[in-house]
Amino acid sequence: MTITINEPALLVIDMQRDFLEPKGYAAQAGLDVSLLRTAIPGVKQLLDAARRHDLLVIHTREGHRSDLSDCPLSKMMRSVRAGATIGSEGPLGRLLVRGEYGHDFVDELAPVEGEIVIDKPGYSAFHQTDLQQILGVREIRQLILCGITTEVCVHSTLRQAIDLGYTCWLAGDACASADTRMHQAALDMVAVEGGIFGEVRTSAELASAISAASQEAI
């Protein structure tokens, strides 16, 4: 099945040191970051395609204010139980706190000039952010999503985007989870009822569709 896209935005979700480096928040919580890092090549492929063809690229970062005033008690307590208390000192700085070294992006996926960065306190990229306004100003109604984790921040964003009326493609090999079963289940959920949450495609397929759409626009 061919993919018909027309000026989508690429949404890169939470490719941060705190989630991807062996001394970050995820590792402190006992997650296998080597599995999370499997998303990096696919994300890089999509970033390269988007940059070649001047697509809008938006990067998100999950994290909190330094005083933790935007961190719900339930989330804080969950992090305590996981052994990675939000705001506590870690090898990469205070865990999941904005401005700390661990909160920023891994070097190989760092934004370039002109790309948008959205800091979010929750799981969905739409929650308490200006993402919808940014997309609305540019009249964008199609999204390509990638990032981590598949079953949490990626899926939360995808589901809200669908409810808001966006057409969505999820790059299955450019997403990852620390639990391969959860990753596959999250991908499988997208396709139910004829694609209730959009379509799952590979990074290569989506990169080719971006290129084809760009050629048609010339």
| Residue positions annotated with a catalytic role | 14, 120, 153
Alpha helices in 84-202 (DSSP H): 131-137, 155-163, 180-195
Query: What is the number of alpha carbons within 13 Å of residue 204 lying toward its C-beta?
Result: 0
CA angle 152, 160, 111 (to 5 degrees): 65
Which amino acid, one-letter code, is at 3?
I
Distance, CA of 153 to CA of 161 (rounded, Å) = 12
24: helix, strand or coil: coil
The residue length of the chain stands at 218
